[in-house]
Each structure stands twice: as C-alpha cells, then as structure tokens.
Amino acid sequence: MLNKKTVEDIDVKGKRVLVRCDFNVPLDENRNITDDTRIVGALPTIEYLIKNGAKVILCSHMGKPKGEPKPELSLAPVAKALSEKLGKAVVFAADDNVVGENAKKAVAEMADGDVVLLENTRYRVEETKNIDDFSKELASLADVFVNDAFGTAHRAHCSNVGVTQYLPVAACGYLIQKEIQFLGNAVNNPVRPLAAILGGSKVSSKISVINNLLEKVDTLIIGGGMAYTFMKAQGLSIGKSLLEEDFIGYASDMMKKAEEKGVKLLIPIDSVEASEYSNDAEIKICEGGIDDGFMGLDIGPKTIELFSNALKDAKTVVWNGPMGVFEMPNFAKGTNAIAKVLAELDATTVIGGGDSVAAVNKAGLADKMTHISTGGGASLEFLEGKDLPGIVAINDK
C-alpha cells in the first residue's frame, strides 16, 4: 500500500485532472460553512496542480442526499469558499446530474490552471453503488485522475474507484499520501517499540482492530468503555459499567493471544466510577473492580501512571478511542493525560478515530502529534489491516 503514485509522479501540464476531494464540510442552517478544515486541507494538492498548469476539475460528496438533488447539500458554498482561499475564480458546474451541460461546457472552456467544481457526486444514485454509467461520465471529463479523499477510501464508489477504470492514470494527492505514509508505516513498518492505545465505547466495533494490532504491536493498552468487558473476562466485578456480554469470550481469547505473542497487554487497574452516566453524578476512585451500583467512566490515576510508563520508551504510538467519557469534564482526565503523554513523547504519534481526534483537538494538542488522520472509518479499516478500495485503485509507482 505504500508505493503509490502521487501528483508529483504524473504529467499534469495541459491535462484535465479530475480530483476527488473531501469537501464534506459542516454547514449551518443558512448554508454557511462552519468548519473549513477540509477545504484548507485540500489546498496543497489543488495549488500544486494549478501551479503546474493542469486544468483542475474537482469533485466531492457532501452529506447523504441519497441519490437525488438536494439543494441544501449543494457544493455551491464550497465553490465560493475555495475561490476565496485560492484567490481565483472557481467555476461551479451546477448540474443536478453532476456531469451535465454546465460541467461539459465549463470543462471545454478551461485554460491551463483553471478550476471547475462539479456538483455533489451523491446527487447521483449510481455513486455509492459504483455503477459504471456515472464512472464513465466522470471519466469523460478528464485525462487523468487524482484521489485526495481519505475519508471515503474505505468505500468503492464511482468517484474514487469506478472512475479509475476509465482513465489511464490514477495518482494520490498530498492528503492521501500523508495518510498512507503515517498510518501505513506506523502499522506495517514501525520504528519499534510500537504501542497501540485503544479505547472508546465498544469492543464489538474494534474486534478486528484488536486482533490485527496484536500481530504487530509490542504493547497494547486498552481503556475506555471497552476495558470493562476485558475486566469482566478477568473475573473482576464491573458494576453497571458498559459490558458486551457476547464478547467476554473474545476478550479472554485476545488476552491469551497477547500472552502467546509476547505482547504486553494492559487494562485499567483503577477507574473513576460514577453512580450514573452524568457529569453531576457522585464519583469515586476505585481500584480493581467497580462497586455495585456504579459505572466506570474514566481510567483512574494509577492507570494513568501505568499507561504513561508503558508508553515512555515507545518510538511509535497509534491511538484510537478515548480513555473515558471525555465529553463530560469529570471523566476527561484520563484522555487528556494520555494526550499529554503522547504530545511530549519523542516518538511518531498517530491519532485516528473521530472522537479521539476531537479529544486531542479539545485538549489543544493536535499540533503536537505527528499525524492526525482525517478519516474516522477509513483509519479504523486501515488499523484492521484491510485493503482500502480507494487506495488499491491508485496506481503503484
């Protein structure tokens, strides 16, 4: 997965380059963009292409229009924002069928360095089903293809996978290149020791991640809600903490596997327990198991110390899933402490998972991490060791 063609490996001068971006930005009720991180993130690839004389045709999905035009999910606001950021006109091709008269005309009139943005690709019902008609139509606008949308890389859609069948070259942009480099190296070619920290609410959502990472890591740290299923498997009492009964056996198997592989697997030795799921609940620190009538909502101080020590010598750390209910201040200490440890480590630190990234941002430590993955679901599948169709479809060097 690591040896993919990038924009710099292909000839773009005078070429019509179709770029799949991730412009799935949040809008308020007046269709103002409330967070332009994704637009800013797409600029390096777009600016490179403009500078090198490409005709830049951008496409993306936004939200879930479910295969029909929905004006409130039009990419028109993105065209405006992009135009401001690039300091040049971005022609918006407002076709309900995405590749329609406006798009064809706009592309036909392009000079080198011009930028056209197509309408929301999910206006077309074919898009998420990867049906050829739409892939062919998209390809008919361009000479080469560039994928820079990591967030959808775990899906095979027309605009990131289907289209590559009908164009001679598919390369990745800088965003995907960075994801492959950091996520890929962290898991498949890490500087050791490699530690992974897993948390979040459910064991069941991260089964394949745990299983795959046990093949790769030197240390596996488990916190968050999923830790209680592991504690239960060890015979500890867990009160009314989050438990997935059906996965107790799985947790035991994973602990056995860790032992066989010589992986150090750590689970919490104390917790912040609460009488109910509320920031205003009565709270206590408890060692070992959880008291009857209480639930564990964060890792405790001794666990913070245990985990911090285990991370001290790590040279690569992958983190997915918060250590507690970080949305409530009383249960955010564990997550913040671990974020701080990672921020100060002399190691490659890679953060994936929507909530973990939010937690690191909230702690103001994002710029202290080596890499923050932009794709929640995609980064999870990467950690599961799966081949992502959107990345497979990019040509090798």
Residue 6-35 contact track with ligand ADP, rule CB under 6 A, x = bound: ------------------------------
Rg, the chain, Cα only:
23
Smallest distance, ligand ADP to C-beta of residue 46, A: 28
Does 355 engage in binding with Mg ion (CB under 5 A)? yes
Does residue 395 contact residue 6 with C-beta atoms inside 8 Å? Answer: no
**Residues of span 325-354 touching Mg ion by CB under 5 A:** 354
**Residues of span 160-199 touching ligand ADP by CB under 6 A:** 199
Beta bridge partners of 194: 316
Q: Within 201-270, where are the H helices?
A: 207-213, 227-233, 248-261
Tokens of 74: 């039009």
Beta bridge partners of 299: 271
Q: Which is nearer to Mg ion, 134 or 319 (CB)?
A: 319
Candidates 164-172, 230-238, 257-265, 350-358 — which segment interacts with ligand ADP by CB under 6 A?
Answer: 350-358
Does 268 engage in binding with ligand ADP (CB under 6 A)? no
Does residue 389 contact residue 162 with C-beta atoms inside 8 Å? Answer: no
Among 308, 313, 327, 370, binds ligand ADP (CB under 6 A): 327
Among 97, 185, 205, 208, binds ligand ADP (CB under 6 A): 205
Residue 207-226 contact track with ligand ADP, rule CB under 6 A, x = bound: -----------------xx-
Cis peptide before 193 (omega within 30 of 0): yes
Residue 379 binds: one of ligand ADP, Mg ion, none (C-beta under 5 to 8 A by kind): none
Q: Which is nearer to Mg ion, 44 or 354 (CB)?
A: 354
Interatomic CA distance for residues 271 and 268, integer angstroms: 7
Among 356, 363, 378, 389, binds ligand ADP (CB under 6 A): 356
Q: Which is nearer to ligand ADP, 349 or 356 (CB)?
A: 356
Give me the DSSP letters along 60-89.
---S--TTS--GGG-SHHHHHHHHHHHTS-
Contacts for 333 with CB less than 8 Å, ≥ 6 apart: 272, 298, 304, 324
Residue 239-258 contact track with ligand ADP, rule CB under 6 A, x = bound: ---x----------------
Among 355, 365, 391, 394, binds ligand ADP (CB under 6 A): 355
Q: Which is nearer to ligand ADP, 162 or 300 (CB)?
A: 300
User: Using CB atoms, what's the residue nearest to Mg ion?
Assistant: 355
Among 41, 173, 300, 324, binds ligand ADP (CB under 6 A): 324
Beta bridge partners of 286: 271
**Residues of span 51-110 touching ligand ADP by CB under 6 A:** none
Contacts for 122 with CB less than 8 Å, ≥ 6 apart: 61, 62, 63, 64, 65, 66, 67, 73, 128
Of 195, 148, 189, 166, give the one whose Cα is nearest residue 378: 148
Smallest distance, ligand ADP to C-beta of residue 124, A: 29
Look-up of token digits 């027309």 = 158
Binding site residues, ligand ADP, CB under 6 A: 199-201, 205, 224-225, 242, 296-297, 320-322, 324-325, 327, 353-356, 376
